[in-house]
Amino acid sequence: MPRYFFHTRDGRDHPDHEGVELANDAAARLYAVRYAGEVLISEPEALARGHKLDVQVVDERGEALFAIHSVVSGGLSS
């Protein structure tokens, strides 16, 4: 099975050096969505501080396949 790497950035780079073996690109895309959701649940303050959360999916050849970008826009109303 191919190995995919899920590099994250939330104001700091967090490279994935281990990766995950998944059946295909479609499975990697679904895994990336779930992974981004888990990060947002466990570290919501990253977005609350105005940082973006990016998850870039890279295959075992080092080719970037797709990315997820999460950002909060607009200010707080009182």
Provide the residue-wise pLDDT of the chain in tens; the chain has 78 residues: 999 999 999 888 999 999 999 999 999 999 999 999 998 899 887 777 777 899 999 999 999 999 999 988 776 655
Measure the CA–CA gap between 12 and 32, rounded to whole angstroms. 18
Give the pTM.
0.86
Domain assignment present for 27: yes
23 phi/psi in degrees, rounded to 5: -65, -40
Work out the burial of residue 6: count CB atoms within 10 Å of its CB; fewer than 13 is exposed, 13-18 middle, 19 or more buried.
Answer: buried
- Specify if 76 maps to a domain: no
In a domain, residue 12? The reply is: yes
Number of domain units in the chain: 1
Cβ contact 53:44 at 8 Å: no
In a domain, 63, yes or no: yes
Domain that holds residue 17: 3-70
The whole-angstrom separation of Cα 30 and Cα 44 is: 21
Residue 77 falls within a domain, yes or no? no
